[in-house]
């Protein structure tokens, strides 16, 4: 029974796909050196034609990947910093995403964007600590935030094989998570949620690294409140059927989500649940504040992120 | 779905290196007549949203595309009708696209600014200035990796010379010796802004900055464009990497048909008249026998009439399929309305 | 009693602020010619130093405005197309927005971004028909979508005078709206909603040009259902107190919003209402579909946008 | 809030055009010692998140800032400590910022990559490569419009030469003759990528493309940098517009302190040793009397000790004020938690 780390799982998924499919390649800054861990060792194994270092020209190489994808390749792009996705927002949301419909189905754009270390990295401050997954879900890019190593592996494999642009956020606070891998690693279908812990009283939808926090809180409250921990794994498309089934049992909903509150992922889950699902009490969100910018000082950085105490308070609030 | 996987074997014969004057004239006449027809359909409301007419710049699209193989690729711009026709799309399906018909190149989903036809190597017009260049570079990169001797030509205007992503792309193309030809259609203006007041330095200077060989040609003379393109495409095909072509040209019409509704004073009638003296159709038309020219004109007139007939008699796409093709994987999102 | 058009109201607000404050200027493509109507005639009135034509370098001139704002100017930037905001997303969300906090309050960035013709413009197709206001609300940019000429005037004036970056979307389908202007035009505070029509049964929150649609539907249903038409005017900050007051009366909520459904503005309104406000029936949204790309053909373009029939259906659904 | 409204009156005396060797040495020694101290505080965990050390490049920041007036402005980079100190920030408050203290330049809100000090003309380090250049251009534009003779210098690395927004900015700066000095710190690498494998053409070629005068100087010799900067700043101040300076330099340390934890082989020890032969502190240190050099070294050592003392004894900001300053207007958004 091997322990697999989250970072290693991503690395292995990429290695397996590079080995399986010659049309797969990975592009980005310093990917040959593998400083973000994601591509560590792959340049040696697959050579500089498959693991390609790029100049600091994110906009150009993001659309370059789109053009290559139009011609049958399946590029994976590593972004060193979450805010680099802001820089390429036009190339992703306005170009890659729209090509299939605009051409009347003549082409496909199978590109995978990976951010290995999204969200806060202690001490990286304002411009390096964003968690912008809600933006991509809004424009319609398939958006994946794995919480566990086995899901990181399986969802990256599925993303690379998917015929549409897909973005994967690997939270910095999840990269170190280790998981006992008993069965062999397999692809995980995009759009399928995972219930990590069943419960009767309240459904907690947790995103990425916050799944671990939710599990800890569920354990802590076990005597008192029976918490179901629901991990969407894919934010868009979201597994609405699975959430409806969970709420049929619990009737109570809390979402914990590391994106900004306003128009964030948590808002969507609450909105859809309120429209269509069984709720016996007002649902709650735990998120970053509106318009959050993470301050540098560690204690400040931490209070701006959703935390366990806030989750406990939210769970108690819905149980009132 | 028409797969565009790069194939190491050329799928078409290389065009005769020597230009065929009559065919070049026919290509320009087709674009001119097509655009005049389209202007009429904008007026009549059959083309919704208007167009960016290519009239005056025909020699550029025709001169470049004449040296491309069927399996070579191009990317186009908001002013893209000329490129699409010159690369070999069926004018009937192109016009149907402008009219939003199901028989259009994009099944009515793209319209004037997104016309694409993968079957003849057109990766699409792009509505974002400079937006297509890196996509073209990616196609060239894929071809090079596949060992194909396919070449990609990317068209853009002088306005794109100030767009960061184009400059980033020039660096990548030079760095990786991509089989790419940059074609800058310098028509002197970006909408109302004169090139001189927007571009510090020159187009050629931009190319030189990245070590790109460049050539500036008379964009009103199809033979000049043809010669420069033949050299650039040959270089790209034999692995010598990208070339930058600046074609000096002029648009006779408005930036966009809405401009006809507003008074704009960014250029003088004298200037327009001067350029009309060098109308690419006359410059080159004079080189072929009058009889042949008239015959081509007549053939094109017929062809355009047939295209209009085809577009008008084509069905509209079904609104219930509005989001078909949104995801190549076939995934469908939720509707925006209350279901049921 | 003069009829004022929406486009003219924006133009007049800009003219008044240019006249009032020498630190105000407007930058953009073809602003001297005024082809977007917003700046029509202003180059002549204020000269090329105040109304500045820029090269097609959106990223550079957007951050140039930020730098000028740091030094005491109050630049207004016109964007010809909504998707140009994708192109400058880094410069707005990661630079302009973050400067005040990151510097510990040393500076302010009073820049106003204006899109005179957002959303669908018939026949402009996929890359020119976006309505991305939810993205800006999510990252925390003050986000304004006026529905009426007097609000367009008053909110643009307030935006220009505001010390933070502010974005104003002027829906293409609202630019032609005309309003009887009886009183003189005045600044409208950012963050204050406007109830256009009072009602007892259901609160309809409508954004931008959809306010007119909501008013028409309210009139049409008047005999049967009493509809309150609520225009937030500012999406972020949102006037939550006003919404709570409205729902205290009606207890029923429908939002009609021209942005994509997933993580859109409508989601936020439903989520917050579900968390904190009085709801006697499940709320409903009428939006664009998930991940929408507008097809070119007019009939297709139209069905992808939220419409009156859908609003009527949603109102009936919450009354069930 | 320290208002930064541009003032037509220079708020400070122009620095003596002739360089003061001792002061230049002092400036470099301050940066070197500050960085060595900071490296220790990263190890000890007192500086969270690590830093991008400036060690080896001191001559660039000092040579440029020595010719700037107090009211002149700069923008800095992710590797910005040298720029901030050279422009005149209090090392105590700078170190307190790195330690996240309330007494820091940014009140602990910015840290290493965002250090800003408007009171001495520092518009801020920027964590996005190329991101600061257009902001600097905007400041220069505002100064020019106000009739101020203020100059702005913007620092960036060789990696930024491939970032579109920098190239767009060079065009705007040239076009509008902005009082701006572009300072490219070419240290041979962007993280692990050698400049040669990332930059097609040259830095000077980039400048030429936009008609910008450029000069390439020995970035290890503070006098060479000083001379080039004096000329560039004089030109900017007298309205002749922007200049591009490429300073050839080298970083002796890791790209970032995390690099110390991973083995990277992108450069050889020999290469590092070669550049160490030309350590800017020795190159220039040799020009001043040994006694004076030792005295300066001793003064700096004391100053740094005082800075550490200051930082350590400074209070942490209060977490309840985490979102203070989010909006300059004083607006506050909603918290992310369940209220009450
Ligand atoms: C990035 C971007 N900015 C602005 C626009 C709006 N726009 C459409 S065409 C155009 C002018 C383009 O000029 P040029 O590149 O010279 O091409 P031309 O129209 O002259 O053929 C502008 C500003 C756009 N489509 N994309
Ligand atoms: C736009 C952007 N892309 C990538 C990064 C990540 N990154 C930070 S520093 C750096 C290398 C910068 O190299 P250079 O500009 O030469 O400056 P140096 O580190 O050598 O001083 C990179 C890629 C970033 N901060 N911004
Ligand atoms: Mg042009
Ligand atoms: Mg460098």
Task: Give distance in angstroms: CA of C26 to centre of ligand 1.
Answer: 19
Query: Can you give the pTM of this predicted structure?
Result: 0.97
Q: What pLDDT, on the 0 to 100 scale, is given for residue B264?
A: 85
* C-beta of A256 in contact with ligand 2 (< 6 A): no
Mind telling me the catalytic residues of C?
Answer: 128
Residue A128 among the catalytic residues = yes
* C-beta of A80 in contact with ligand 2 (< 6 A): yes
- Could you read off the pLDDT of B159-210 as tens digits, one per residue? 999 999 999 999 999 999 999 999 999 999 999 999 999 999 999 999 999 9
Task: Give distance in angstroms: CA of D260 to centre of ligand 2.
Answer: 17
How is residue D53 written in tokens? 């050390």
Which 70-99 residues of chain C touch chain B by CB within 8 A? Answer: 81, 83, 87
The protein residue with its alpha carbon nearest to ligand 1, atom 2, reads B129
Size of interface B-C (CB pairs under 8 A): 156
* C-beta of B57 in contact with ligand 1 (< 6 A): no
In 3D, which of A90, A56, A68 has the Cα closest to residue A22? Answer: A68
Q: Give B214→chain D minimum CA distance, Å.
A: 13
* C-beta of A84 in contact with ligand 2 (< 6 A): yes
Q: What is the pLDDT along chain C (320 residues), one digit of tens a residue?
A: 579 999 999 999 999 999 999 999 999 999 999 999 999 999 999 999 999 999 999 999 999 999 999 999 999 999 999 999 999 999 999 999 999 999 999 999 999 999 999 999 999 999 999 999 999 999 999 999 999 999 999 999 999 999 999 999 999 999 999 999 888 999 999 999 999 999 999 999 999 999 999 999 999 999 999 999 999 999 999 999 999 999 999 999 999 999 999 999 999 999 999 999 999 999 999 999 999 999 999 999 999 999 999 999 999 999 99
Q: What pLDDT, on the 0 to 100 scale, is given for residue C250?
A: 98
Q: Is the CB of residue B256 less than 8 Å from the CB of residue B50?
A: yes
How many CB atoms sit inside 10 A of residue A162's CB? 22
List b or e across D147-161, with b for residues whose CB sees 16 or more CB atoms inside 10 angstroms.
ebbbbbbbbbbbbbb
B133 interaction partners in chain A (CB closer than 8 Å): 63
Which chains does chain D touch, 3 or more C-beta pairs < 8 A?
A, B, C
SS3 (DSSP) at C141: coil
In percent, the amount of chain B with pLDDT more than 70 equals 94
Q: Is C63 on the interface with A (CB under 8 A)?
A: no
Cβ separation of A237 and B110 shorter than 8 Å? no
Task: Give distance in angstroms: CA of A132 to centre of ligand 2.
Answer: 21
How is residue B339 written in tokens? 């279901």
In 3D, which of C57, A268, C164, C145 has the Cα closest to residue B197? Answer: C57
Band the pLDDT of A183: cuts 50, 70, 90. Answer: confident
* A217-A221-A222 Cα angle (round to 5): 110
Q: Is C241 on the interface with D (CB under 8 A)?
A: no
A303 interaction partners in chain D (CB closer than 8 Å): 319-320, 322
DSSP state of C162: S
Which 122-161 residues of chain A touch chain C by CB within 8 A? Answer: 125-127, 130, 132, 134-135, 137-141
- Could you read off the pLDDT of C48-76 as tens digits, one per residue? 999 999 999 999 999 999 999 999 999 99
Using CA atoms, how far residue A42 sits from A47, A81, A271, C312, in Å, is 7, 20, 43, 57
- The shortest CB-CB distance from D162 to any of B171, B200, B211 is to B171
- Could you read off the pLDDT of C3-43 as tens digits, one per residue? 999 999 999 999 999 999 999 999 999 999 999 999 999 99
Q: Is B272 exposed, middle or buried (0-12, 13-18, 19+ CB in 10 A)?
A: middle
Which residue is catalytic, options A128, A131, A196, A209? Answer: A128
In percent, the amount of chain B with pLDDT more than 90 equals 91
Which chains does chain A touch, 3 or more C-beta pairs < 8 A?
B, C, D
Q: Is A291 on the interface with D (CB under 8 A)?
A: yes
B110 interaction partners in chain C (CB closer than 8 Å): 125-126, 296
C-alpha C41/C-alpha B127 separation (Å) is 27
Q: Give B80→chain D minimum CA distance, Å.
A: 25
Using CA atoms, how far residue B243 sits from B183, B202, C253, in Å, is 9, 16, 60
D328 interaction partners in chain C (CB closer than 8 Å): 100, 105, 107-110, 163-164
Best of B336, B338, B339 to substitute, by most chain C Cβ atoms within 10 angstroms, is B336
The average pLDDT across B22-34 equals 98
- Could you read off the pLDDT of D184-199 as tens digits, one per residue? 999 999 999 999 999 9
Cβ separation of C106 and D116 shorter than 8 Å? yes
* C-beta of D22 in contact with ligand 2 (< 6 A): no
Task: Give distance in angstroms: CA of D77 to centre of ligand 2.
Answer: 9
SS3 (DSSP) at C149: helix
């Amino acid at each position: 029974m091997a322990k697999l780390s989250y970072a290693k799982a991503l690395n292995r998924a990429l290695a397996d796909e590079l080995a399986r499919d010659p049309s797969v390649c990975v592009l980005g800054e310093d990917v040959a050196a593998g400083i973000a861990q994601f591509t560590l060792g792959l340049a040696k194994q697959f050579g500089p034609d498959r693991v390609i270092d790029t100049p600091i020209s994110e906009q150009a190489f993001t659309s370059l990947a789109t053009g290559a994808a139009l011609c049958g390749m399946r590029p994976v792009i590593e972004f060193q910093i979450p805010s680099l996705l802001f820089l390429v927002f036009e190339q992703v949301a306005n170009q890659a995403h729209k090509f299939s419909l605009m051409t009347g189905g003549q082409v496909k754009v199978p590109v995978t964007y990976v951010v290995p270390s999204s969200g806060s990295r202690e001490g990286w401050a304002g411009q390096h600590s964003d968690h912008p997954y809600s933006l991509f879900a809004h424009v319609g890019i398939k958006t994946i935030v794995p919480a566990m190593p086995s899901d990181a592996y399986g969802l990256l494999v599925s993303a690379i094989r998917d015929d549409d642009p897909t973005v994967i956020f690997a939270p910095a606070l999840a990269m170190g998570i280790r998981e006992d891998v008993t069965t062999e690693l397999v692809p995980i279908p995009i759009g399928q949620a995972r219930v990590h812990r069943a419960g009767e009283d309240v459904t907690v939808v947790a995103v990425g690294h916050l799944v671990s926090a939710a599990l800890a809180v569920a354990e802590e409250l076990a005597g008192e409140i029976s918490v179901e921990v629901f991990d969407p794994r894919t934010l868009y498309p979201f597994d609405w059927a699975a959430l409806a089934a969970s709420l049929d049992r619990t009737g109570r909903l809390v979402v914990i989500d590391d994106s900004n509150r306003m128009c964030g992922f948590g808002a969507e889950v609450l909105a859809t649940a309120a429209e269509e699902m069984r709720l016996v009490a007002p649902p709650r969100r735990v998120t970053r504040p509106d318009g959050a910018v993470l301050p540098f000082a560690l204690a400040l950085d931490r209070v701006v992120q959703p935390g366990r105490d806030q989750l406990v308070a939210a769970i108690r609030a819905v149980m009132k | 779905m028409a797969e565009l996987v790069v194939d190491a074997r050329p799928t078409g014969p290389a065009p005769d290196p020597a230009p065929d004057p009559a065919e070049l004239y026919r290509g320009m006449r087709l674009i001119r007549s097509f655009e005049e027809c389209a202007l009429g359909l904008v007026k009549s409301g059959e083309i919704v949203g208007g167009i960016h007419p290519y009239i005056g710049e025909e020699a550029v699209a025709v001169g470049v595309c004449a040296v491309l193989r069927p399996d070579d690729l191009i990317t186009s711009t908001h002013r893209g009708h000329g490129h699409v026709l010159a690369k070999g799309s069926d004018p009937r399906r192109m016009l149907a696209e402008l009219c939003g018909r199901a028989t259009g190149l994009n099944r009515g989903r793209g319209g004037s600014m997104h016309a694409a036809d993968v079957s003849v190597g057109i990766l699409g017009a792009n509505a974002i200035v400079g937006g297509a260049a890196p996509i073209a570079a990616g196609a060239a990169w894929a071809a090079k990796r596949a060992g194909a001797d396919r070449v990609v030509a990317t068209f853009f205007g002088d306005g794109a010379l100030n767009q960061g992503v184009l400059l980033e792309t020039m660096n990548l193309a030079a760095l990786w010796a991509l089989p790419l030809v940059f074609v800058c259609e310098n028509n002197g203006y970006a909408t109302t802004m004169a090139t001189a007041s927007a571009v510090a330095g020159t187009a050629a200077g931009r190319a030189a900055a990245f070590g790109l060989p460049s050539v500036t040609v008379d964009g009103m003379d199809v033979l000049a464009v043809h010669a420069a393109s033949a050299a650039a495409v040959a270089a790209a095909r034999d692995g010598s990497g990208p070339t930058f072509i600046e074609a000096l040209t002029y648009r006779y019409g408005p930036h966009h048909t809405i401009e006809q509704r507003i008074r704009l004073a960014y250029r003088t009638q004298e200037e327009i008249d001067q350029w009309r003296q060098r109308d690419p159709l006359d410059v080159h038309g004079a080189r072929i026998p009058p009889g042949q020219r008239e015959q081509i004109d007549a053939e094109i007139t017929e062809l355009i009439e047939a295209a209009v007939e085809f577009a008008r008699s084509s069905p509209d796409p079904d609104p219930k399929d509005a989001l078909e093709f949104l995801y190549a994987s076939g995934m469908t999102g939720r509707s925006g309305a209350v279901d049921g």
